Chain A
């Protein structure tokens, strides 16, 4: 599995180059990568169906006991098939959608990289790996939503989606770490089989809440749903792929994956059913008031995700089966409808509103057929797979009349949206000024396979149920289930409910203007929702950042030095306070005469430095301080340090002398108050550093580190000068870091000196 994911990643890297050399066939040429995955998954299908998951493990970081563990069971297989299968169609679709677009290569790269990350999420067995891939999907989603980076709305939506999902990801990480603490294993397969260990653990509730926050942000559950409709700023291939059929299902996948370990408690049922129900209904309610094609679909996606979470929350065998079937049905019709919506907008020159579209059936007959199929499946009309899924959903909720009522209400909204997208744009008379033509073949394949599939799956629903839904549902439930999907389940109350839903939905479609008006009236209310909270939070963070930057980054050198010095004094003081005060003066060795002389010299030079009225004299006396330090170094047997100090002092004087040219004439010293503050600060830092150095003398380690270096320096590093050997061999990585910092500092200094804003203008 690692190899197949790597192939996808390689394809992503190769995409821009493929586009450069074969701009017309980029999609076709990149197709083998996802198809290889599809092929491999089908080849493994028999094993997985019989309950033998495919396990692959590679050593990752041996010292840390990390391994790249992958596992393919029924649930992973269903999701991976959707990801790679729809991914293949999207790659082809993109080729047509972005025909002649100079950035097509970049888009291909992002979308295939996303596919690889998403496959990683569903195939990984190691929790850290799951988390890494999880965050990678957020990141690639950011790139895709912000693809039109010149549009401010796209940038804001991309940032919003990323902040929400990545923040959720951090909650998830905390939840996963707690899970590992509770179960003692990083492997999902172990955690699933840990039985009641997690449920009875004192950390169960925090784990559940943290994991739920992670999953809910990703899967756009209330109140985090707002990022998903905004993410429709992404080009349609990305919306069809990430924001309807795959990425947003990652949260559902994770909850389903952890179902055997976490479910079965009242907390689980309450949180998931409650949040799922609210999301399901509010998504459906918000959807009917929309008129933009992609937003209609986006809100129903929110609603559908809510339904999946709700069904998981109820958590009976029947609801699990129904959820699994619904995941499949939803992926098919929703991706198809998105592709149709993108096609319509693409081929009519950018028209996005359902209300301005009509009569396209003559211009786009092919699109019409498959839009209709997908739309009917979405509405849950027989004989489509959407109907099969909806039927088993109703059956599963048989004991929960309240949820049945909710399903009827939500289902009616799906009918309305299905008709609005699948029929409305194609029927009636074409408005004047609307020009359209049929989609190119590359864009037809996706709707054809998925729309047609929505019909075909229904006729093979028994086989599909057995081959795909059953293994997945068994994996979610944690033991073997038997799934029998029927197109015709007999004449019973659920069929009546279904028919009632359809009729209600059709009725709603005819009074759609009422919904639009209501939505318009309710708009201020919706605007004050979670989206407003998000922007308020974002603004506050930015305001805080601005405030503290203004406070700390004044642009005046003196302030920077003051802040640094104060920080040193405070930190050292705090360290002494924690250590219980300062002691250790008594063990100092006697001071020799020559050292005393040098010290006196340094003190005098320092006094001259601060009291001198000439700059040159100040700098030269600073030099005296520096040279005296070099002298001290040589007294104590550190010739390397002494030598370096000498050259540094010389260079400092040269640099200062050069800097003179830019300074105003030295008229008067600073104000008395400033000098007083500076005096206090410098005395403070002097005392703090002195105490620190004396205290450091009394730190005793069992064996001084120097022993090790002295012993190994010549034997292993072929050098007698231990200082140098440490610099270039033992701690070479530190030195590498230091010279990198040095380089950056030099470039920064150079930029400050050379790239000054011109007078009267901006830089």
Chain B
């Protein structure tokens, strides 16, 4: 599977795919998207890279082992449930902080966002753990 066309296309496609996956992750709270589909998207971006080049190349640009990515995501999701405990609420209750940017825009930052980022990394890690393991068997 070493086609020059696929490689060249992948080289151009890969960054926008990743950016789009992050876009999906962040827009998820108001519009279709979210951590799950975002993570799948990022996973397919890396899988595409692995197909076009090689698994070891894909591993190199991911920088860390996909299993670590999974663990980090799971840890992030677990931790995101802790802040509400300090205000006497149940574990994983959504807790929000209102931020007003200097330009006057209001921004809601909440624990569900952190949780969603955790989901994103878990899904990304799980997909790549399997794809890389299968791909390396060649």
Could you name 30 residue pairs across A and B whose Cβ atoms are closer than 8 Å? A640-B33, A643-B33, A644-B36, A644-B40, A650-B44, A651-B40, A651-B43, A651-B131, A654-B47, A654-B48, A655-B130, A655-B131, A662-B137, A717-B112, A718-B110, A723-B34, A728-B35, A728-B115, A732-B92, A732-B94, A732-B115, A733-B92, A735-B115, A736-B92, A743-B70, A743-B71, A743-B125, A743-B126, A747-B67, A749-B133
Residues A734-759 near B (CB distance < 8 A): 735-736, 739-740, 742-743, 745-747, 749-750, 753-754
B81 touches A742 (CB 8 A): no
Contact of B36 among A727, A733, A736, A749 (CB under 8 A): A727
**Which 10 A/B pairs are nearest by Cβ-Cβ distance?**
A639-B32, A746-B126, A719-B29, A658-B134, A647-B40, A728-B112, A720-B30, A724-B34, A753-B133, A739-B122
Q: Which residues of B contact A720 (CB under 8 A)?
A: 29-31
Given contacts A721-B33, A742-B123, contact A749 B112 (CB under 8 A): no
Once bound together, how far apart are the Cα atoms of A717 and B134, in whole Å?
40
Is B135 among interface residues, defined by CB-CB distance under 8 A?
yes
A721 touches B28 (CB 8 A): yes
B92 touches A654 (CB 8 A): no
Once bound together, how far apart are the Cα atoms of A742 and B127, in whole Å?
10
* Count, chain B residues at interface, CB 8 A: 51
Q: Which residues of B contact A678 (CB under 8 A)?
A: none
B112 touches A721 (CB 8 A): no
Is A479 among interface residues, defined by CB-CB distance under 8 A?
no
Once bound together, how far apart are the Cα atoms of A657 and B137, in whole Å?
12
Interface 1/0s, chain A 442-470, versus B by CB < 8 A?
00000000000000000000000000000
Once bound together, how far apart are the Cα atoms of A662 and B138, in whole Å?
8
A746 touches B115 (CB 8 A): no
Q: Which residues of B contact A643 (CB under 8 A)?
A: 24, 32-33, 37
Is B54 among interface residues, defined by CB-CB distance under 8 A?
no
Is B119 among interface residues, defined by CB-CB distance under 8 A?
yes
Which residues of A pack against B, CB within 8 Å? 639-640, 643-644, 647-648, 650-651, 654-655, 657-659, 661-662, 716-721, 723-725, 727-729, 732-733, 735-736, 739-740, 742-743, 745-747, 749-750, 753-754
B112 touches A729 (CB 8 A): yes
Q: Which residues of B contact A740 (CB under 8 A)?
A: 74
B129 touches A749 (CB 8 A): yes
Besides the contacts A640-B33, A719-B29, A732-B81, what 11 more A-B pairs have beta carbons closer than 8 Å? A643-B37, A650-B44, A717-B112, A721-B31, A727-B34, A732-B94, A739-B77, A746-B130, A749-B130, A750-B130, A753-B134
Once bound together, how far apart are the Cα atoms of A675 and B31, in whole Å?
45
B73 touches A739 (CB 8 A): yes
Q: Which residues of B contact A723 (CB under 8 A)?
A: 32, 34
B34 touches A728 (CB 8 A): yes
Q: Which residues of B contact A718 (CB under 8 A)?
A: 29, 94, 96, 108, 110
Q: Which residues of A contact B94 (CB under 8 A)?
A: 716-718, 729, 732
B37 touches A647 (CB 8 A): yes
Closest to B121 in A: A739
A-B contact count (CB 8 A): 141
Tell me what chain A mostly uses at the interface: helix, strand, loop, or mixed: helix
Contact of A654 among B118, B131, B137 (CB under 8 A): B131
A721 touches B30 (CB 8 A): yes
Once bound together, how far apart are the Cα atoms of A650 and B74, in whole Å?
24
Is B9 among interface residues, defined by CB-CB distance under 8 A?
no
Interface 1/0s, chain B 60-91, versus A by CB < 8 A?
00000001001101100110010000000001
CB distance from B130 to the nearest CB of A (A): 5
Once bound together, how far apart are the Cα atoms of A59 and B91, in whole Å?
20
Once bound together, how far apart are the Cα atoms of A639 and B59, in whole Å?
31
Interface-centre pick from B67, B70, B134 (highest chain A CB count, 10 A): B134
B44 touches A651 (CB 8 A): yes
Is B51 among interface residues, defined by CB-CB distance under 8 A?
yes
Q: Which residues of B contact A729 (CB under 8 A)?
A: 94, 112, 115
Q: Which residues of A contact B73 (CB under 8 A)?
A: 739
A754 touches B122 (CB 8 A): no
CB distance from B38 to the nearest CB of A (A): 9
Once bound together, how far apart are the Cα atoms of A658 and B136, in whole Å?
9
Closest to A643 in B: B37
Given contacts A736-B77, A743-B70, contact A724 B108 (CB under 8 A): no
Q: Which residues of B contact A719 (CB under 8 A)?
A: 29-30, 112
CB distance from A53 to the nearest CB of B (A): 35
